Amino acid sequence: MTPRGFPAFPPGRARRPRTWWGTAWNRAWEAEALDVRPLRAGRRLAVGGHVGAITVSPGRIAAAVHDGDTEQAYATRVRVAPLGGGDWDRLAGEVAARAGHQAALLAGQLPRDLADVAGVPLLPGLGEVAPECDCPQWEHPCRHAAALCHQVSWLLDADPALLLLIRGRDARTLVPDGVAVPGDGAPAAAAIGRAEGTGTAAAEAYARVVPPLPPAPQPVPDGPTLPLLPPGADVDVDALRAAVAVAAGRAAALLHGGRTDATK
């Protein structure tokens, strides 16, 4: 499975995750922290642009993080326990049963109800996040690992399906065989149509013979008396009277318990 790389975030203002997935990711890894002080320091490093390019591979996130001196950057990694094969099979079954989930994954989204479906938690639990850093600090996590995790929440804001790769696989493993994913040369709309088992090729649809239209409805005998309709610009009074007669006659017949041509 090919790792994915992301360029370093530039320095900016204080920033917090904007989406449910980004916020949930922060709650998950912060639950492992023994002290809130490195979390706050890590947030400052993240906002200050002290985290280098991020590499995400199955079960592993890595970047070089520094305290202000780029020549003294630390190799920082966060390992996340991958899901087991049975978990992925259950997730794939849920996605295969819902075309809407397939469409979301094809668009790079991650439906919120997949956070914990079929007993499979996508977000890591206690003991499933292991920060590593070659800095001399002893905190768990250190501020460098915290900075990296903070920026991962920003990545999840833009690409929540990245969480699948963090947990061991990518979106391809959850999309049924034969359904294209973006970048494979087939548009997502066509892929969704195949996933649902519906749709007709355009050439076949245009080659079909169009059946004749049904006969126009006729007024019901003994219908109600219609009001006089004054002529007006761009109004075909005779056609309008005929349409009103049909509708009024059917309504009168239904009110009297009868059946009209439209109800047969």
Out of 4-18, 157-171, 208-222, 233-247, which region has the weakest mean confidence (pLDDT)? Answer: 208-222
Pairing of strands 54-57, 120-121: unpaired
The pLDDT confidence band at residue 196, using thresholds 50, 70 and 90, is very low
Q: Residue 195 contacts by C-beta under 8 Å, 6 or more apart in sequence?
A: 99, 102, 103, 175, 176, 179
Distance between CA atoms of 160 and 180, rounded to whole angstroms?
19
Percent of the chain with pLDDT over 70: 77
Out of 3-7, 188-192, 214-218, 252-256, which region has the weakest mean confidence (pLDDT)? Answer: 188-192
Q: φ and ψ at 93, to 5 degrees?
A: -65, -40
Distance between CA atoms of 129 and 123, rounded to whole angstroms?
10
Does residue 135 contact residue 74 with C-beta atoms inside 8 Å?
yes
Distance between CA atoms of 179 and 188, rounded to whole angstroms?
9
Residue 180, both tokens: 């294209």
- Count of C-beta atoms within a 10 Å radius of residue 78: 24
Mean pLDDT of the chain: 82
Length of the chain as a residue count? 264
Does pLDDT of 181 surpass 50?
no
Instruction: Identify the pLDDT of residue 202.
Output: 65
pLDDT tens-digit map of 109-154: 899 989 988 889 999 999 999 999 999 999 999 999 999 999 999 9
Q: Supply the pTM of this predicted model.
A: 0.66
DSSP, residue by residue, the chain: ---EEEPPPPP-S-----SHHHHHHHHHHHTT-S-SHHHHHHHHHHHTT-B--EEEETTEEEEEE-SS-GGG-EEEEEEEPPPPHHHHHHHHHHHHT-HHHHHHHHTT---GGGTEETTEESS--TT-EEEEE-SS---SS-HHHHHHHHHHHHHHHH-TTHHHHHTT--GGGGSPTT---TTSSS-HHHHHHHHHT----HHHHHHSPPPPPPPPP-PPTT-PPPPP----TT--HHHHHHHHHHHHHHHHHHHTT---GGG-
Distance between CA atoms of 51 and 70, rounded to whole angstroms?
10
Q: Residue 176 contacts by C-beta under 8 Å, 6 or more apart in sequence?
A: 92, 95, 96, 102, 195
pLDDT tens-digit map of 26-64: 999 999 898 999 999 999 999 999 999 999 999 999 999
Instruction: Between 156 and 98, name the one with better pLDDT.
Output: 156
pLDDT tens-digit map of 223-259: 556 666 676 667 777 777 788 778 877 777 776 665 5
The pLDDT confidence band at residue 187, using thresholds 50, 70 and 90, is very low
Does pLDDT of 188 surpass 50?
no
Q: Residue 160 contacts by C-beta under 8 Å, 6 or more apart in sequence?
A: 19, 21, 22, 108, 109, 110
Cis peptide preceding 141, ω within 30 of 0? yes
Distance between CA atoms of 94 and 97, rounded to whole angstroms?
5
